Amino acid sequence: MTDLGVTESARDRVLQASYRLLGMQSFLTTGDKETRAWPIHAGETAVDAAGVIHSDLAKGFIRAEVVHYDDFVRESGYPGCKAKGLVRLEGKEYVVKDGDILVIRHSG
């Protein structure tokens, strides 16, 4: 691939193009045991994203802690992001961006 100047596999390009054509994007959740990507339609809100995880999270939604994946990796996780003020609190109307990492605050 390097000799041909190809930077990503055809499979990855097809998957990315398919996601774009379907109007989909991914957000992430992460914890001590697991990190997971969740598919949502582009333009959906934080409360919509909470509902993808579990309907009870959408019902009891309070706020979402949001940090973008690129910032998370660059700052080596939440402590670095929090120290630099990169973690934001967003409400129900926040439009989730591709690559956002969400921590859903909810009642319940």
Q: What DSSP character marks residue 94?
A: P
Q: How many CB atoms lie within 10 A of CB 39?
A: 11
Q: Count CA atoms closer than 13 A to 45's CA, side-chain side.
A: 10
- The closest of 45, 99, 97, 90 to 72, measured between CA atoms, is 99
In a domain, 5, yes or no: no
In a domain, 45, yes or no: yes
Give the structural domain span for 101.
23-106
Q: Report the domain count for the chain.
A: 1
Q: What is the CATH number of the domain that holds 63?
A: 3.10.20.30
pLDDT of residue 36: 96
The confidence band for 1, taking pLDDT boundaries of 50, 70 and 90, is: confident
The answer to whether 100 and 25 have CB atoms below 8 angstroms apart is: no
pTM: 0.87
In a domain, 90, yes or no: yes
pLDDT of residue 32: 85
CA pair distance 77, 87, nearest whole angstrom: 10
In a domain, 76, yes or no: yes
In a domain, 27, yes or no: yes
| pLDDT tens per residue, range 52-87 | 999 999 999 999 999 999 999 999 999 999 999 999
pLDDT of residue 6: 81
In a domain, 9, yes or no: no
| pLDDT tens per residue, range 14-50 | 999 999 999 999 999 998 899 999 999 999 999 999 9
In a domain, 30, yes or no: yes
pLDDT of residue 74: 97
Token output for 80: 């670095």
In a domain, 7, yes or no: no
Token output for 12: 């990855």
